[in-house]
Amino acid sequence: MNSRELFLKTLNFEKNARTLKWEFGFWGGTLQRWYKEGLPLKEGFKRKIIYGDTILGPGFEYPLPSLDEELLMESDISSYFNFDEGPITFPFNWFYCPRFEVKIIRETEEKVEYIGNDGIRRLAYKDERSMPQWIEHPVKDESDWEEIKDSRLNLKNINERITVDDINQYVSECKNRNRPMCLYGTPVGFFGILRILIGEESLYYWYYDKPAFLKEILEYLCSFWLGIAEELTSKIDFDYGRFFEDMAYKGGSLVSPEIFREFISPYYRRLIDFAKSRGVKHFIVDSDGYMEDLIPLFLDAGMNGFLPFEVQAGNDIERIRKNYPGIAILGGVDKKALIDKENIDRELEKVKRMLKIGGYIPYVDHTVPPNISWDNFKYYREKLNNIIENN
């Protein structure tokens, strides 16, 4: 079976197909280390990788036309372990068009302060070894929103949002595709997008000081994204919807249930109800941090799948499976366990139990960090592939 068939059968809890051999992604520094430790260099990358790069694996949709053309997808690891092909996105930009011009404000030998193509001013290490310091976001008041909406977030330039030369040929080639195709995708979501536009600190104040203005933004974005979804679903069918949030940390959700129900749920229901009307059945949300308290809120809004379930944040995918038996679970393999082979074996016993129930695609619970050796990752992945193939 191809990866599209395996993906749909897995999310439908069908017993007559194995799950997928995917990974979420890797740090650039991890790839730098592994090439030195024995990973064969065959395809490499279109540019030089840096330590803090996010290198996408086949478990992540690619390409990402709404974000940055500089984002990289690995191929040498996939080739080595014979991974299944990953999901694809329709070649259409759902975000800023045009993007902001990148501007360097100042720099030292180690750091650079700049405005990125997302309009955010940040101070970062040049090798991106850690999260940057966020200095300023593009929407500081109502006039900023009006300017961005009129110049970068509309469908007046819809043809410029298409990222292939011949869209009709692309659609024709994808009708009988072997890979699952994602509707929506990053940055579509109703918390994460406000963090990008406004910044986290201001957002929390505005939930209370400017609720009407936030709802104006959310209403516009929801209608904007519905317009895109209507256009694209008129051309081709989609296999699932995915949404970007990153709305939790180790201590739990970054917003209260009341904020979620008022500022997030209504807009998700509209996007999901529309997609259901076009035959889409699976809706997955991507959020870091401790997710268990958020699951019932997302379920009520229409989601039925989640990733990547970071173990160090307290997520326990076996407990989650027991409490929410019908949801799709992707990820949940503790990255910290890959430091030691005995812990790898323990994690893989958990994977075996999860696979017997179904609805599960196992992979490391976020990007694999540089403290994991190639030897240990190879040990983990070869054993996991064997479990998947013989489950």
Q: How many domains does the chain fold into?
A: 2
117 and 234: one domain?
A: no
Here the tokens at position 259 are 């904020």
Q: What mean pLDDT do residues 199-224 have?
A: 98
Domain boundary among 111, 137, 163: 137
108 and 93: one domain?
A: no
Here the tokens at position 340 are 């030691």
Q: What mean pLDDT do residues 138-147 have?
A: 98
Domain boundary among 117, 137, 157: 137
Q: Are strands 283-286 and 305-307 parallel, antiparallel or unpaired?
A: parallel
pLDDT at 220: 98
DSSP 23-56: --EEEHHHHHHHHHHT---SS--SS---TT-EEE
Inter-CA distances, 128 with 75, 123, 124, 132, Å = 22, 10, 6, 8
160 and 127: one domain?
A: no
61 and 122: one domain?
A: no
pLDDT at 68 over 90: no
293 and 193: one domain?
A: yes
Q: How do residues 287-300 score in pLDDT, each as one tens digit? A: 999 999 999 999 99
Structural domain span for residue 386: 3-100+140-390
Q: How do residues 77-95 score in pLDDT, each as one tens digit? A: 999 999 999 999 999 999 9
Task: Give all strands of the β-sheet with 240-244 in edge-to-edge order.
Answer: 88-89, 181-184, 240-244, 283-286, 305-307, 328-330, 360-361
Q: Specify the pTM.
A: 0.97
Here the tokens at position 7 are 């993906």
Q: What mean pLDDT do residues 213-219 have?
A: 98
pLDDT at 244: 95
Q: What mean pLDDT do residues 148-174 have?
A: 95
